[in-house]
Amino acid sequence: MLAAPQQACDLEPGHEDQARADVYALLARLLLAPPDEMLVRALADLPVPAFPSRPLDRAWAALAEAARRQGAAAVQDEYARLFTGIGNPLLNPFASLYLAGFINEKPLVRLRSDLARLGLARRSASHELEDHLGALCETMRILIDGVGERAPQPLEVQQAFFSTHIAPWYERFMHDMRNAEGSDFYRQVADLADVFLDIEAQAFEVADEEA
């Protein structure tokens, strides 16, 4: 069962990174494929936030309300309309498109080089390019949480990846996802992602100042 992560300042030592990794994992799941019924039900069952005045808590509450209101079938239909429409989809969450104007451009080349240095690569079964925002969120999850025998990466490695491959364009994509025709559930996903990634950016800035 999902639980909306608390703000970083409320988390016990050692729990903050797990909460961050969990949010990145959820965003990756919601962006890379339509959520199944179990995930939509879990989101609908999220508890009422303890501090509804805080932006992150409000975003969790709005996402839960949208999941309850729409249900799995409607959310899946919305995903299909937004991300997999015939011809050119309404939303194309690729860094190259937002940073260079076209898919498969220099930002993707740089990303692949950075992934290779980190010992990471696209799964052979994946149908999405590495600079899909969902794939970038999954990479952040791996850098934070580790995977298999791969240990979590230091904060400076996480920061470098985030600052290079996510920070320059996520706000523009969230604006597009929020305002896309027919966006309802995914409008709330955009709000959650925006608030969470803003917190990440601010935390990395603080870490820089304290270094």
Q: What is the pLDDT of residue 51?
A: 67
> For 185-206, what is the mean pLDDT?
97
* Contact of 165 with 131, CB cutoff 8 Å: yes
Quote the pLDDT of residue 1.
38
Residue 210 sits at the vertex; the CA angle it makes with 205 and 211, to the nearest 5 degrees, is 95
Asked whether the predicted pLDDT for residue 107 surpasses 80, the reply is yes
Pick the residue with more confidence: 124 or 71? 71
3-class SS of residue 147: strand
- In whole numbers, what is the pLDDT of the chain averaged over residues? 91
How many CA atoms are closer than 13 Å to the CA of 54, on its beta-carbon side? 16
pLDDT value of position 124: 74
Which of 66-80, 100-114, 116-130, 147-161 is predicted with the least confidence, judged by mean pLDDT? 116-130
